[in-house]
């Protein structure tokens, strides 16, 4: 009789553990931690993040969204800079890295090339359908689409929700704009 009770309790415990694991696995939110400085000053190294994996099932991807994605086997957090069908203009410099040029600045950059010839060149990138162009907020210190190109949308894990722990240890979640 005691063995049956113990066996029933252990089965119940295992069932509860399995149900808990399934609930965690299938819920739309995941926790993440920022590693690196590529999103400073918006996100800090070591900052806790909440990622909504279902957000884009109900909302369109927008320029400026901060997303988590998988690129070359690494999980990254970046900002959406350009959407499918848009053009990104880069100033390519072998020594200093690539810089993004806003469309209204292109004429000024071309004039400066004419006045002072340089080894830099302008590269135009068309973001293909089903892809996005991602940038880190820290400029040239970030490894982003300037290095690995546009990212297929199916590699996006979800939208980042910023989590901050206040002095009362409450987690405040606000959607990043």
5 tagged catalytic: no
| 108 assigned to active site | no
CA 54 to chain centre: 14
**pTM confidence score:** 0.74
| Confidence bin at 70 (pLDDT 50/70/90) | very high
Instruction: Examine the pLDDT at 167 and tell me if it is beyond 50.
Output: no
Percent of the chain whose predicted confidence (pLDDT) is above 70: 75
Select which of 4, 5, 57, 78 is catalytic: 78
The residue ranges of every structural domain in the chain are 29-86+127-175, 89-122
Choice among 38, 68, 142, 145 that is catalytic: 38
Question: 29-86+127-175 — its CATH code?
Answer: 2.10.109.10
- Cα 138 to chain centroid distance, Å, stands at 13
Structure token digits, residue 142: 């970030």
- Residue 94's pLDDT band, with cuts at 50, 70 and 90, is low
- The percent helix, strand, coil of the chain (3-state, each to 5) is 30, 35, 35
């Amino acid at each position: 009789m005691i063995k049956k009770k113990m066996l029933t309790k252990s089965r119940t415990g295992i069932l509860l553990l399995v149900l808990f694991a399934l609930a965690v696995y299938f819920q739309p939110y995941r926790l993440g931690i920022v590693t690196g400085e590529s999103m400073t000053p918006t996100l800090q190294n070591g900052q806790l993040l909440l990622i909504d994996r279902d957000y884009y099932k109900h909302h369109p991807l927008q320029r400026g969204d901060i997303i988590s994605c998988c690129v070359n086997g690494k999980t990254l957090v970046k900002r959406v800079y350009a959407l499918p069908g848009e053009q990104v203009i880069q100033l390519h410099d072998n020594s200093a890295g690539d810089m993004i040029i806003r469309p209204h600045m292109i004429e000024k950059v071309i004039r400066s090339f004419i006045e002072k010839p340089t080894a830099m060149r302008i590269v135009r990138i068309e973001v293909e359908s089903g892809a996005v162009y991602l940038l880190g907020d820290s400029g040239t210190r970030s490894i982003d689409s300037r290095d690995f190109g546009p990212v297929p949308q199916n590699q996006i894990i979800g939208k980042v929700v910023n989590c901050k722990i206040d002095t009362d240890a409450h987690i405040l979640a606000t959607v990043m704009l």
